[in-house]
Amino acid sequence: MEINYVYAKKRSEFGRQCTFTDKNAEMIVEIPPDGEFLRKFAQMNPIDKGIQCSQEMSEHEANTGRYRLETRGMNHTEGGWPKDVNPQEHDQVARYRKKVEKEDIYIATVYKLGIIMEHCIKQNNALNIYENYFDDLDCCASEDSSSARTINVLKDMNEYKRSVAYISWYTEGPTKLAVAYCNTDFQSSQSLVNDSYIWDLMNPNRPELILKPVSPLVCIEYNPKDSHTLIGGGVITGQLAF
């Protein structure tokens, strides 16, 4: 079934036809400026300001006392010959040496140097560098072979499996250990859970304590003075969490 509705309207009800003509500009309204607003106007200079989204950190460097060291060397070459002696001529050198060796100052100098040289030789001979101190030890290797076996399996409670970044044993005995879990893949989208755990080896099914840092821990350590507390953990962002 088709339903139609016919609506009729006369041409006279449409209004008159629009006719446009050229005309000079006409001032309709004029609003002069307010001097009071002009005196209150202040021009603002543009300001550039930089921001950074990373977390604020502090850096400190320390170094021990520095000692000034210098290296000195001495190169001794045979020389200092008189002008009339040619060091390349062996006969002239031999005649000049015989002449010098007969002088009294030469004998006194050699005697003084001999005393110093004898003292150094005695110091060198005081320690036998070739002495064998372990003659009575058996050089044969031990027949005991090393082995390992699995006692407990501590599984990560996270849906996305992460690698273990650090392990710290309980200071009073091998009964507990703190484990830091961290996904070190670059720009990984699976690091949705930052939890690390403290495990009791007697109950490997569930962790004894769940640590919830703001970012994944890459290292963790027990307090050596108080075994019931953790001294802190290193966060992947470079911060230290206590």
Q: Which residue has the tokens 């080896």?
A: 201
Cα 20 from Cα 11, distance rounded (Å): 21
pLDDT digits (tens, 9 = 90+) for 105-154: 888 999 999 999 999 888 888 777 777 777 777 666 566 677 888 888 88
Q: Residue 117's pLDDT is what?
A: 92
- The larger pLDDT score, comparing residue 1 to residue 4, is at 4
pLDDT digits (tens, 9 = 90+) for 54-100: 777 888 888 888 888 888 887 766 667 788 888 788 888 889 888 88
- The larger pLDDT score, comparing residue 171 to residue 228, is at 171
Q: Where are the domains of the chain?
A: 90-120, 164-241
Helix, strand, or coil (residue 108): helix
DSSP secondary structure, 41-70, as one string: --PPPP-------SPP-------PPP----
Residue 207 neighbours by CB under 8 Å, 6+ apart = 154, 157, 197, 198, 199, 200
Cα 233 from Cα 168, distance rounded (Å): 10
Other Cβ atoms within 10 Å of 44 Cβ, number: 5
Helix, strand, or coil (residue 106): helix
- Is pLDDT of 33 > 90? no
Average pLDDT over residues 4-11: 82
Residue 150 identity (one-letter amino acid) = T
What global pTM score does this model have? 0.41
Q: How confident is the model at residue 227 (pLDDT cuts 50, 70, 90)?
A: confident
pLDDT digits (tens, 9 = 90+) for 163-207: 888 888 888 878 888 888 887 775 565 556 788 888 888 888 888
Q: Residue 84's pLDDT is what?
A: 84
Q: How confident is the model at residue 161 (pLDDT cuts 50, 70, 90)?
A: confident
Average pLDDT over residues 41-64: 81
Query: Facing residues of 219 across strands?
Result: 234
Q: Residue 142's pLDDT is what?
A: 60
